Amino acid sequence: MEKLFPKLQIINENGEWNDETYRSEITEELTKELYKKMLRSRLFDRKGVNLQRQGRIGTYVPFEGQEASQIGSALAMGEGDWMFPTYRDHAATMTFGHSLKTLFLYWKGRQEGCIPPEGKNIFPPAVPIASQLLHATGTAWAEKLKGTDRASIVYFGDGATSEGDFHEGLNFASVFNAPVVFFNQNNGFAISVPIEKQMKSKTIAQKAVAYEMEGVRLDGNDVFAVYFHTRTAVERARKGEGPTLIESVTWRYGAHTTADDPSKYRDQNESATRREKTDPILRLERFMKNENIWDEKWAEELHESLTAEIEAAVKEMEETPAPHYNDVFDHVFAENPWPIESQKEAYAHSRGDR
Amino acid sequence: MTTAVDTKKLTMVQAVTDGMRVMMKEHENVIVLGEDVGQNGGVFRATDGLVSEFGEKRVIDTPLAESGIIGTSIGLAMNGFKPIAEMQFLGFIYPAFNQIMTHASRIRARTLGHFTVPMVIRAPFGAGVRAPEIHSDSVEALFTGMPGMKVVVPSNPYDAKGMLISAIEDPDPVLFLEPMRCYRSTKMDVPEGKYNVPLGKAARLQEGSDVSVFAYGAMIDVVTKAAKSAEEKGIKCDVIDLRTLYPLDKDMIAESVQKTGRAVIVHEAPGTGGLGETIMSLINDTSFLYMKAPVERVTGFDTPVPMFALEDHYLPSADRVVQAIEKVTQF
């Protein structure tokens, strides 16, 4: 099965060409844009971990190492498409339209962190595992019924493929030919459980065979491979040629969350040494050097301006006024039923507010 | 001046079909999906004829997967459709519980109203029709205890159609429970066009001054018989069909018990954690000083609904209800 689903790659670990199909499209401009987006998300991610350590936000879910998978795939989506992230996919959602402030607000425990900007169909992070595959299938199916060419993309990890909703999602999408891209980030571990204990199959992409849909396995640390192959899947969906299951093979360097200690279940030295080979940002840097489009000064300035942008977002997040407690009560139903209304009044009274 | 309204004699299940038909005619975005709802017309024939009238794009036979039905309905509802998802039996809803609990009921709250899932989940439920195991569960309390869900139970054909129309028009997810025992037990004049029976409002079925009797769904038939027996013993019951379980009609419950000073609550769902407890606390909150006797409950037991050779023992009977009525009046 591994032979049937080879790990597609465009640029290898040394930043050299492996597949020149898209050479004419891989311009200096695109390369720099991808580098910028990846660095932006990494600096954001490290800031997130730091803020949690300082007690300035709650538990945070880092994604360092998965930038290429998330950014390459998100960039393949168009205006009006739908995105269904998990709690680890802030690089994807910031690429698709979330502001950094909104993302920080989410981890600050603010409902506002679930709300996308006007006109962007970004669903709040799915916290249960694999349930969001069905939402993506439903929205995509709705677009098909409406006769548009909009598609949905949904993110999930390797552990999610053991859940019933993974299979129900693929099956419904297949039966109804829904324009949805199932984007799996296989980062090797579901919290502490390694993939070998999660499934006997050698690849996740092969699971597409059971649903008569396209299955693609790619090097999830090669941002070009992710971008171009996802784009192909999205185009296929738009043309009515059905859903695709993409397995993007990647690695998370850090913990599952800031509440997790990965040294309990794996050798973190191994994770650190993997960087040399797999770090998607380092790979792009090597490629840019090979192509003579690396500019040290540009990189330094970029680093500076992105740091400033992130610091500004942290400031905005911290200066956002505290939410009013009525937000607890006022959005459960379109109109408050009496039990919630009377609880709201009683609570206000207990605070001496009325 | 009165306006003549054309009516048809319908059973409850026919009234349910008619409610869907009326709304599908009026709104293109109303779709029906579930297992066997298309060509087969549903195992109870609740969707009979809809596929030939509206086509397979709007009356959709889905794969056999409850979580899949609810999960995709959430996506459809978020994106402009009004799905009416059929669970073949309420006892089969458990694989979909996660979707309802973690997504459908709370997405409005999670996004401060940015995303909503206006959908209806229809589910036949309840014992007394000699169904196989698991088919007879009354687990409405799982959903009345779920913030963000409305839960309604009609007990007759007129209410079934009018409440289903209200549920379809509701901007929030509604669990629409259909008591199987009532599906074909009576026929009733039902208006042909569109009309609403509002959610959140109970109905007084019988006026009485001695004891308030609260019930819903298939238990309405049981309490009506019990009230008749009580009347022969000189006890006049105020019989209330709750109709909506979340939110309850607080005003009518309070008004009734403040008049009678006594209450009997009847449901076939298990007693512990059941609606009866919520109604008792409501009576406590609103009417404590009016009460002349402790509130009595007649409920199903805290046991699984047994296989049908035993189900008559499980179900509240008119005799048990009469005993409860006598107990509160003789207190």
Cα angle A332, A110, A46; round to 5: 145
Name chain A contacts of B147, Cβ cutoff 8 Å.
332
| Chain A contact probe: residue of B72, B105, B250 with most A CBs at under 10 A | B72
The backbone region for B89, taken as left when phi is positive above 0, alpha when psi lies in -120 to 50, beta otherwise, is: beta
Interface of A with B in 107-166 (CB under 8 A): 111-112, 114-116, 123-124, 127-128, 131, 133-143, 145-146, 152, 164-165
Residue among B67, B75, B150 whose CB faces A139 most closely: B75
Name chain A contacts of B98, Cβ cutoff 8 Å.
128, 131, 165
Contact B109 A172 (CB under 8 A): no
Distance from CA of B164 to the nearest CA of A (A): 18
Is B192:B300 a contact under the CB 8 Å cutoff? no
> What is the pTM assigned to this prediction?
0.95
| Chain B contact probe: residue of A148, A172, A180 with most B CBs at under 10 A | A172
The per-residue pLDDT for range A37-84, each reduced to its tens digit, is 999 999 999 999 999 999 999 999 999 999 999 999 999 999 999 999
Q: Does domain A2-322 have CATH number 3.40.50.970?
A: yes
The per-residue pLDDT for range B162-211, each reduced to its tens digit, is 999 999 999 999 999 999 999 999 999 999 999 999 999 999 999 999 99
Could you give the CA distance from residue A281 to residue A91 in angstroms, rounded to a whole number?
A: 13
Instruction: Count Cβ atoms within 10 A of the Cβ of residue A149 and give its class: 0-12 exposed, 13-18 middle, 19 or more buried.
Output: middle
The confidence score (pLDDT) of residue B51 equals 97
The confidence score (pLDDT) of residue B192 equals 96
CA separation (Å) from A9 to A14, A32, A207, A218?
A: 12, 19, 20, 6
Distance from CA of B52 to the nearest CA of A (A): 18
Could you give the CA distance from residue A245 to residue B230 in angstroms, rounded to a whole number?
A: 65
Contact A131 B102 (CB under 8 A): yes
CA separation (Å) from A267 to A45, A96, A259, A263, A277?
A: 22, 34, 18, 6, 17
DSSP of A257-291: STT--GGGTS-HHHHHHHHHHH-HHHHHHHHHHHT
Cα angle B292, B221, B264; round to 5: 15
Mean pLDDT per block of 10 residues along chain A (354 residues) reads 95 97 98 98 98 97 98 97 98 98 97 96 97 98 98 98 98 98 96 95 98 98 98 98 98 93 90 89 98 97 98 98 96 97 95 89
The confidence score (pLDDT) of residue B3 equals 65
Contact B172 A334 (CB under 8 A): yes
| Sign, CA torsion A39/A40/A46/A49 | negative
The confidence score (pLDDT) of residue A272 equals 84
Name chain A contacts of B148, Cβ cutoff 8 Å.
332-333
Q: Does domain B7-191 have CATH number 3.30.360.10?
A: no
The per-residue pLDDT for range B32-65, each reduced to its tens digit, is 999 999 999 999 999 999 999 999 999 999 999 9
**Spans in chain B with pLDDT lower than 50:** none
Name chain B contacts of A320, Cβ cutoff 8 Å.
none
Q: Which of B27, B103, B114, B135 is catalytic?
A: B135
* CATH pick for B203-330 out of 3.40.50.920, 3.30.930.10, 3.30.565.10, 2.60.40.420: 3.40.50.920
Contact A111 B109 (CB under 8 A): yes
Domain ranges of chain B: 7-191, 203-330
List the catalytic residues of A: 252, 256, 265
Domain ranges of chain A: 2-322, 324-353
Interface of A with B in 259-298 (CB under 8 A): none
Contact A115 B114 (CB under 8 A): yes
Is A59:A257 a contact under the CB 8 Å cutoff? yes
Asked if A77 is an interface residue toward chain B (Cβ–Cβ < 8 A), one would say no
CA separation (Å) from B255 to B201, B263, B282, B283?
A: 13, 12, 12, 10
| Chain B contact probe: residue of A127, A129, A134 with most B CBs at under 10 A | A134
- In chain A, the residue whose alpha carbon lies closest to the alpha carbon of B251 is A338
Contact A334 B116 (CB under 8 A): yes
- Across the A:B interface, residue pairs with CB atoms under 8 Å apart total 138
Which amino acid is present at A36? K
ipTM above 0.85, yes or no: yes
Interface of B with A in 246-305 (CB under 8 A): 246-248, 250
The confidence score (pLDDT) of residue A268 equals 86
Distance from CA of A128 to the nearest CA of B (A): 7
Contact B79 A332 (CB under 8 A): no
The confidence score (pLDDT) of residue A273 equals 87
Name chain B contacts of A152, Cβ cutoff 8 Å.
75
Name chain A contacts of B78, Cβ cutoff 8 Å.
123, 135, 138-139, 142
The confidence score (pLDDT) of residue B4 equals 74
Which residues does A27 contact at the CB level (< 8 Å), separation at least 6?
none
Distance from CA of B168 to the nearest CA of A (A): 14
> In this structure, what token pair is assigned to residue B81?
């459709």
The confidence score (pLDDT) of residue B239 equals 98
The confidence score (pLDDT) of residue A1 equals 87
